[in-house]
Structure 1
Amino acid sequence: MQLTDAQRLDWLRLIRTEGVGPRTFRRLVNRFGGAAAALDALPDLAGRQGRRITPPTRSEAEAEIAALARLDGRLIATGEADYPRLLAQVDAAPPLLALRGAGILNRPAVALVGSRNASTAGLAFTERLARGLGEAGLTVVSGLARGIDARAHRASLPTGTIAVMAGGQDRIYPASHAALVEAILREGGAVLAEMPMGWEPRGRDFPRRNRIISGLSYGTVVVEAARRSGSLITARYALEQNREVFAVPGSPLDPRAEGTNDLIRQGATLVSEVAHVVEVLGPIIERGPDAEAAPARGRPDLAEQPDFWDEIELDATGADCDPIPLWPDRETAGRPVCEDEPPQPADDRARIVALLGPSPVGTDELARSAGVGARTVQSVLLELELDGRIERHGSGTVSLVSR
């Protein structure tokens, strides 16, 4: 299937209509035989429930497409050749995706996600894992966040990486990762966004992004995650999509490992080297994206994780759920505050302490992760040692003493 320009405009107007998410979009298109007919019928259907729904105008949709084109981006639709076949199998797959970059979306991929306040040990292992997975022929998918995500993207630049954004293509979050986005594009990777141009990401947009990350991938590897980490939501979506879930074990003394250790206890595949991922995914990839999914084996139970989809129920009686405005200019109360990113340490000492954990790490790696010189690291470590907060090990490694 290849949409005409007119059809693409209709698809964009329909999916940008308030309260129309991926599932409602498909129901409308299937019911009326196309997006144009659904747009004509939508005001009457919504009016029966006492709602007033007005789709974006053609000029608004054309403006979004033009703005995306100025960034060398374009919209791809489910069913088109460039749309990721694996993602298209997901129940709530976006009907349209804004794409910038090369056509690597249908290469075998694995998601690599984890803590934003990552430890130095977690960052170092992420780098090793991402490089190894890339060398094994897998594209690394992640969410462009600080910590594990950013390290996964950087380590897999030479072999191919896909970044999935929570906001619009022109709203990189965090803004400090603009250079990373340019590097991904320059090295032949891809950047995807579901939300409109101009959309500032909100807290609830990150779980939506996460189901795209897992949907693009044959499996999801969680490196570090606290018990209520957003990375566990990615794992939950992977389970719902019948994809593999992997977890890297960590010290039971480190809160950043509580979520991953729980995943392993509940049945996720333990990962301590690249081969542990490749051995599991190899046979699945050989069957191809269109093969019938294998029956779920021992899988973690993440049913308590909340659902993040509110869509209008056009056939429902009584009150329906609250709509989610998807057109930035139609926001009535200004930009919501994004709650996904934790505050960043303000000084060198705080950054170094945040990167330490119960697992021993080398001072060189600590300096690289903190973005400071070796002399600064040694000075901070001396202060921490005098305060009884670190323990020194062989080969110049140190660890944080649990209190």
Structure 2
Amino acid sequence: MADVEPQTDRIDRLRLIRTPRIGPVSYVQLIRRFGSAGEALRALPDLAGRGGGRAPAIPDRGLAERELAQAARLGARHVMLGDADYPALLARLDDAPPVFTARGDLALARRPCVAMVGARNASAAGCRFARTLAHALAEAGFGVVSGLARGIDTAAHLGSLEGGTIAVIAGGIDIVYPPENAELQQRIAGEGLLIAEMPPGVEPRARHFPHRNRIIAGLAAGTVVVEAAPRSGSLITARLAGEAGREVMAVPGSPLDARAQGCNLLIREGATLIQSADDVIEALGPIDRRMVRAPGLSYQPEPAQEASDAERDKVRRLLGPVPVGVDEIVRQSGVAAATVQTVLLELELGGMLERHAGGRVSLAA
């Protein structure tokens, strides 16, 4: 591709990911197909038209510039997929965030990291254990990642604050949630690392927390769950860790305590039972050095796999309101995988497709 001014390219990348209907998967597909964010932005109207819809509204350059300036005023900066200091393990997720905002010491994310999550309404014993475990892991050289929620998350951050803690929040980098953790959030930004995928100024919403959870799991070689109900965000984080090929660990508890049911269920399903920091260290074992080298984001355009009308029809007929795996669509349609991905990208940009966890897709509601 033609040379692009670095700052212009960063602004274009920010404009691309802030464009409606473009998520982490479609962002990477567009970059790889067109070689630059600028070329991808120019191609959006045509791709959306092939998908049966209107082109999404693309943010102008001024909006992206103001977001970058706002982050700088907050003492934060944008880290983009493909940057040299983008965390390597996080980059290996299929839906790695194309950009996030960071305050603090980004070098902490280059350490071997352990995620610790658990119940918001945690017991006193659970919080004490989480704090002790996090402190021991940080002393052993691990970064401890959590979500700055009440209960276990807060205990994990407090235990690892002096040794190295990383907080991933669901809102913008300048938004405090929950309010009682305002001082802790400020301390983490100054002494540890604070990460937010949402733009500055965005208040956390329920739909943001699963996205935050994938980052928590993605930064770490393994996730430890300390107290969790059977249906909880902590178990979602553990599932995401397992799907990413990371170690899933859980602290057992009394069957009489509802807060222990999720952890006991994870152990029954094969999670490693954790009673001490030594158990965590043993479960993770030596870190494969290949995992701490970030895969590159290719900026060489790949040959486009254009779809015929017949191939588009085959793919569309297999889609419905129930999410289905992309691999299953490839198998049943008989259409080449790259061509299926092209059709799905067109449908997504046209507002006709939704992507779900685990590489599944459905027609938009």
Aligned in 2, Cα 1:52/1:78: closer, same or farther, shift over 3 Å? closer
| Corresponding residue number in structure 2 for 1:155 | 159
Deviation, 1:116, is 0.4
Deviation, 1:243, is 0.3
Deviations 1:54-85 (A, max 9, x none): 11111111111111101111111122121101
Q: Distance in 2 between matches of 1:21 and 1:217?
A: 22
Work out whether residues 88 and 294 of structure 2, in 8 Å CA contact, stay in contact via their aligned partners in 1.
no
Aligned in 2, Cα 1:319/1:35: closer, same or farther, shift over 3 Å? closer
Residue 233 (1) aligns with residue 233 (2): no
Deviation, 1:290, is 4.5
Q: Distance in 2 between matches of 1:241 and 1:254?
A: 30
- Give SS of 1:17's match: coil
Work out whether residues 218 and 285 of structure 1, in 8 Å CA contact, stay in contact via their aligned partners in 2.
no
Q: Which amino acid aligns with 1:47?
A: G
| Corresponding residue number in structure 1 for 2:117 | 113
Work out whether residues 89 and 291 of structure 2, in 8 Å CA contact, stay in contact via their aligned partners in 1.
no
Deviations 1:170-189 (A, max 9, x none): 222212222111111222x1
- Give SS of 1:200's match: coil
Deviation, 1:12, is 0.4
Deviation, 1:106, is 0.7
Deviations 1:303-323 (A, max 9, x none): xxx99xxxx943349972369
Structure number, greater radius of gyration: 1
| Corresponding residue number in structure 2 for 1:54 | 57
- Pairs within 5 Å for 1:114-153: 114-153=118-157
The structure where helix makes up a greater share of residues is: 2
Residue 321 (1) aligns with residue 353 (2): yes
Aligned in 2, Cα 1:3/1:215: closer, same or farther, shift over 3 Å? farther
Q: Where does structure 2 lack aligned partners over 5 or more consecutive residues?
A: 296-322, 325-342, 357-365
Work out whether residues 24 and 313 of structure 1, in 8 Å CA contact, stay in contact via their aligned partners in 2.
no
Q: Distance in 2 between matches of 1:322 and 1:242?
A: 24
- Pairs within 5 Å for 1:82-93: 82-93=85-96
**TM-score (structure 2 length as normaliser):** 0.79
Work out whether residues 48 and 346 of structure 2, in 8 Å CA contact, stay in contact via their aligned partners in 1.
no
Q: Distance in 2 between matches of 1:144 and 1:90?
A: 22
Deviations 1:377-396 (A, max 9, x none): xxxxxxxxxxxxxxxxxxxx
Deviation, 1:200, is 1.2
Q: Which amino acid aligns with 2:352?
A: D
- Give SS of 1:314's match: helix
Aligned in 2, Cα 1:227/1:3: closer, same or farther, shift over 3 Å? farther
| Corresponding residue number in structure 1 for 2:283 | 280
Q: Distance in 2 between matches of 1:15 and 1:56?
A: 10
Work out whether residues 92 and 294 of structure 2, in 8 Å CA contact, stay in contact via their aligned partners in 1.
no
Q: Distance in 2 between matches of 1:34 and 1:116?
A: 42
Q: Distance in 2 between matches of 1:28 and 1:75?
A: 20
Work out whether residues 44 and 55 of structure 2, in 8 Å CA contact, stay in contact via their aligned partners in 1.
no
Q: Distance in 1 between matches of 2:190 and 2:288?
A: 27
Q: For 2:9, which of 2, 7, 10 is the aligned residue?
A: 7
Deviation, 1:280, is 1.6
| Corresponding residue number in structure 2 for 1:199 | 202
Q: For 2:169, which of 165, 170, 173 is the aligned residue?
A: 165
| Corresponding residue number in structure 2 for 1:212 | 215
Q: Distance in 2 between matches of 1:277 and 1:323?
A: 33
The root-mean-square deviation of aligned C-alpha atoms, in Å, is: 2.4
Residue 224 (1) aligns with residue 227 (2): yes
Q: Distance in 1 between matches of 2:114 and 2:251?
A: 14
Work out whether residues 108 and 285 of structure 1, in 8 Å CA contact, stay in contact via their aligned partners in 2.
no
- Give SS of 2:182's match: helix
Q: For 2:42, which of 28, 40, 43 is the aligned residue?
A: 40
Deviation, 1:41, is 0.9
Deviations 1:247-301 (A, max 9, x none): 0001101110110000000100000111100112132356752499xxxxxxxxx
Q: Which moved more, 1:78-87 or 1:141-150?
A: 78-87
Q: Where does structure 1 lack aligned partners over 5 or more consecutive residues?
A: 293-305, 325-403
Q: Which moved more, 1:206-215 or 1:97-106?
A: 97-106
Q: Distance in 1 between matches of 2:164 and 2:149?
A: 17
The share of aligned pairs that are identical, in percent, is 56
Deviation, 1:145, is 0.6
Work out whether residues 16 and 58 of structure 2, in 8 Å CA contact, stay in contact via their aligned partners in 1.
yes
Q: Which amino acid aligns with 1:321?
A: L
**TM-score (structure 1 length as normaliser):** 0.72
Q: Which amino acid aligns with 1:176?
A: E
Q: Distance in 2 between matches of 1:313 and 1:286?
A: 34
Q: Which moved more, 1:236-245 or 1:78-87?
A: 78-87
Work out whether residues 53 and 351 of structure 2, in 8 Å CA contact, stay in contact via their aligned partners in 1.
no
- Give SS of 2:47's match: helix
- Give SS of 1:284's match: coil
Deviation, 1:20, is 0.4
- Give SS of 1:315's match: helix
Deviation, 1:148, is 0.5
Work out whether residues 76 and 97 of structure 1, in 8 Å CA contact, stay in contact via their aligned partners in 2.
yes
